[in-house]
Amino acid sequence: MVAYTPAAMKAELHERGWRMTPQRETILNTFQNVAKGEHLSAEELCETLKEEGEPISLSTIYRNLKLMSRMGILRELELAEGQKRYEINQPSPHHHHHLICVRCNKTIEFKNDSVLKAGAKMADKSGYHLLDCQLLIHA
C-alpha cells in the first residue's frame, strides 16, 4: 500500500486506461488535507468543494469516490450513522481501524498491526495484492 500523490494516481489511472481529471485531482487533494480522524460523506465533500470554489457535481463525486475506493486510494467506511464515509487510505505505519459507539455514533481510531499483517498474509497466500484491511468494531 503506497501513499498516493497526484502523479502516482495519474500513472495508475493511465495504466488502467483512464485519465487523471481535474476533478479527481481536486478530490485527492481534499482528502489529503482533511484533518486527522475526519471522515467525509459524498455530500460533505460536495459542500466543502463548493465552499472552496471548486464546485463538482454530486454524481461526479459519487463516481470518483467509488473509483478511488476500488483503487485503494480511499477507504469506504460504514460508520454508525448508516451513511458511507470516506478517508484517505494511509499506508503503514499510519494504517488504522475504527471503534464505533452505537449509542452516540462517536468513532475512535486505533492501530493494530497484527490485523494488517494477517490481512496481507492471507491476500498474498491467495495470490492477491492487499489494497486495504480494516476492522470496524461496533460497541
Give the closest residue to 61 by CA, choosing from 24, 9, 113. Answer: 24
Neighbouring residues of 94: CB distance < 8 A, sequence distance ≥ 6: none
Q: Say if CB 44 and CB 61 are below 8 A apart.
A: no
Numbered residues of the known binding site: 95, 101, 104
Query: What Rg, from alpha-carbon coordinates, does the chain have?
Result: 15
Parallel/antiparallel/unpaired status of strands 97-100 and 136-138? parallel
Q: What share of the chain is helix, strand, coil (3-state, %, to 5)?
A: 40, 15, 45
Digitized pLDDT (tens) for each residue of the chain, 139 residues in all:
456 778 888 888 888 888 999 999 999 999 988 887 788 999 999 999 999 999 899 999 999 999 999 888 898 888 766 678 898 887 655 677 778 888 887 888 787 888 888 888 999 999 998 877 878 788 8
Q: Which three cell numbers stand for residue 7?
A: 502523479
Numbered residues of the known binding site for Zn(2+): 101, 104
Decide: pTM greater than 0.85. Answer: no
Distances in whole angstroms, Cα of residue 69 to Cα of each of 17, 61, 72, 95, 114 = 17, 12, 5, 15, 23
pLDDT of residue 1: 44
pLDDT of residue 3: 62
Numbered residues of the known binding site for Fe cation: 95
